[in-house]
Amino acid sequence: MYKIAVLPGDGIGVEIVPEALKVLQAIALRFGYEFEFNEALIGGAAYDAVGHPLPAETLDTCRNSDAVLLGAIGGPKWDKLPVQLRPEVGALLPLRKELGLFANLRPSVLFPGLVHASTLKEEVIDGVDIMVIRELTGGLYFGEKKREQTSDGGQKATDILSYSTFEIERIVRFAYEVARKRGKKLCSVDKANVLESSRLWRETVNKLARDYPDVETSHMYVDNCSMQLIRNPRQFDVIVTENMFGDILTDEASMLTGSIGMLPSASIGGEVGLYEPSHGSAPDIAGQKKANPLATILSAAMMLRYSFDLEEEARLIEQAVRTVMEEGYRTPDLMEEGKTLLNTEEIGDLVAAKI
Amino acid sequence: MYKIAVLPGDGIGVEIVPEALKVLQAIALRFGYEFEFNEALIGGAAYDAVGHPLPAETLDTCRNSDAVLLGAIGGPKWDKLPVQLRPEVGALLPLRKELGLFANLRPSVLFPGLVHASTLKEEVIDGVDIMVIRELTGGLYFGEKKREQTSDGGQKATDILSYSTFEIERIVRFAYEVARKRGKKLCSVDKANVLESSRLWRETVNKLARDYPDVETSHMYVDNCSMQLIRNPRQFDVIVTENMFGDILTDEASMLTGSIGMLPSASIGGEVGLYEPSHGSAPDIAGQKKANPLATILSAAMMLRYSFDLEEEARLIEQAVRTVMEEGYRTPDLMEEGKTLLNTEEIGDLVAAKI
Ligand SMILES: CC(C)[C@H](C(=O)O)[C@@H](O)C(=O)O
Ligand SMILES: CC(C)[C@H](C(=O)O)[C@@H](O)C(=O)O
């Protein structure tokens, strides 16, 4: 029996999360598990209900669960709020910190039959399978912030970027373990020619590399990496990098395949992992049953793998999604001639039926 | 009469710079100007000769000139030096600071006939014409750096990211002036949902926007920008951003068209502007007359425009490059069937002959 905190959130979040629960129920049925789903408010929905995007009860629900399944957060309705109350920042950042989610995993995979969805040429994108691992609880995001007056009547604003050996070691070790189970290539991305934090990062990677002789280690500057992802994305297996660079590079990498509606994510490190689709709350299509729930369903698969160590079950979900795609079923975001259009619930039903 | 400091640097730098000088000579001849070229050492070449990548005499030569033309810097030979002596960091960063080059301009343009060079699909990339303007003397690059011991026997490394109203205003005003002369759209890129420096940046842009009602102002988060550049690059006209984000985004943008051998850059703001190709020193092809000098030639055109206010002459060079491309001449980096292969000098001669 596993306890799962369920946070649908805003926009299409409330439509896609139920589809992932359907699929988890199918797994429960087939393998004789029991999943207890405890729903809680987060984001704009929570702000509207109780005045804060991350209510204390929600945090408690997460802490008392074995894992968290999140839909999506935010929307134009809440964009004018003070930054600490805005759904994304006011909920996501404290949630990451409180749950100790120092490792963010975002795969960027080309699904068969979806080559056309990419803005990149088929021969460049074919076979891409990258895992970007982003440090998620350090760096500029959580450094001290300051605002001062300057003598010329203006202001000066400051952010601090710090990393400790401890913080770097734990994320890099984690990345090595992931690389070991994949293509055995780890590319560490930094700006060691300019930043002191990146120099410590690189030194630490070089020290740890000795413990993973079976994994090929390389270093790349972040500016070069942002080019190489476009020039030849197939050169990458696992990428590991610090928080701010990871924010930029995970988004860039997720755009390569053109099907962000298919890409899950996992944030782990503490006792409770958090799983959510890579895409946002898409307020423009919310409430229309047009949303693609597959990224959320694949996030549930990541939950089984990383939080519950249920590898076989995770693969079963991933295979079910692949089969549904191969059979030509599509939500509107990926629809093309000759395929069969389904709505959010219909495609969720289909995946669940394959389990 | 204009005095130009000429710094060929390393690798292909020594091959491509003479081609740009050829073209400048052709301009001098046609319009009756005189260019005085004062060559100086920089980068690995300077380190080998006098033990520092930016000798004091070189800095003096730059200061006593009206503009600087740089080739390229660096190579594997010097990669193991302490970071302050490494060609790129030890020369470029102090040069930017000493000459007050706070604005880095990097156009990303698709040249006719080069659509195939991109890894992006033709319909996505056709007509792309973006100018990325990067703040070049502030932020993480020039903030204080620190290394401390931690109580667990490890270390902690820190970099500081600061921006003042003054620094933001001057680069953003500059960007508005550029946008005014182009598509009249300015997209300011920041991470205002997380960084205090970005919040001051955004506030400052919003204040200045009132002075430029003829330019359409928008804001975009850096992670989203790294996606949008791939998803739909044609949405952008001028992008303005801080130093570190600019480092990443200029490189990403320059890769979109697939012909980085064609892309110039300008670094300006002080009394003397610096002009150099966007590409590096390409040690793998150095000395083989294979290098594409067109980015350097186009950098010379930017020099005429931004340092000498010679717009007509700048356009003449740009048109000459375009004509040579249209006539089907190519260096090896862009060679394809049906085109005529030229070496570095031959294509330089051709461009000069068109002037
Ligand atoms: C919403 C924002 C604070 C967040 C981040 O920058 O981490 C988002 O961009 C992400 O990548 O999850
Ligand atoms: C060499 C390096 C210090 C430099 C930078 O980061 O600014 C380079 O990447 C650039 O963009 O000119």
Start-to-end CA distance of chain B, whole Å, equals 19
Identify residue A336 by its one-letter amino acid code. Answer: E
Closest C-alpha among A305, A279, A296 to residue A21: A296
Contact B192, B199 (CB under 8 A): yes
Between chains, do B155 and A165 touch, taking CB under 8 Å as contact? yes
User: What is the model's pLDDT at position A308?
Assistant: 97
Q: Is A48 in the pocket of ligand 1 (CB under 6 A)?
A: no
Which residues, other chains included, contact B302 with Cβ-Cβ below 8 Å and sequence gap of 6+?
A: B105, B264, B265, B266, B275, B314
CA dist A41 and A54 (Å) reads: 8
Please write the tens of the pLDDT for every residue from B49-79: 999 999 999 999 999 999 999 999 999 999 8
User: What is the model's pLDDT at position B112?
Assistant: 78
Q: Percentage of residues in chain B with pLDDT exceeding 70? A: 100
Please write the tens of the pLDDT for every residue from A193-204: 999 999 999 999
Which residue numbers of A are catalytic? 141, 191, 223, 247, 251
pTM equals 0.96
Please write the tens of the pLDDT for every residue from A62-111: 999 999 999 999 999 998 999 899 999 999 999 999 999 999 999 999 98
CA dist B298 and B304 (Å) reads: 10
Closest Cβ opposite residue B231 in set A146, A152, A255: A255
Confidence tier at B228 by pLDDT (50, 70, 90): very high
Which residue numbers of B are catalytic? 141, 191, 223, 247, 251
Identify residue B169 by its one-letter amino acid code. Answer: E
**Is the pLDDT score of B154 beyond 90?**
yes
Question: Which amino acids bring their CB within 6 angstroms of ligand 2?
Answer: A 193-194, 223; B 88-89, 92-93, 247
User: What is the model's pLDDT at position B113?
Assistant: 86
Average pLDDT over residues A284-311: 97
**Is the pLDDT score of A112 beyond 90?**
no
| Domains detected in chain A | 1-102+257-355 (3.40.718.10), 129-255 (3.40.718.10)
Between chains, do A251 and B86 touch, taking CB under 8 Å as contact? no
Average pLDDT over residues B188-215: 98
Between chains, do B193 and A248 touch, taking CB under 8 Å as contact? no
**Is the pLDDT score of A250 beyond 90?**
yes
Please write the tens of the pLDDT for every residue from B73-132: 999 999 899 989 999 999 999 999 999 999 999 999 998 789 889 999 999 999 999 999
Please write the tens of the pLDDT for every residue from B111-127: 878 988 999 999 999 99
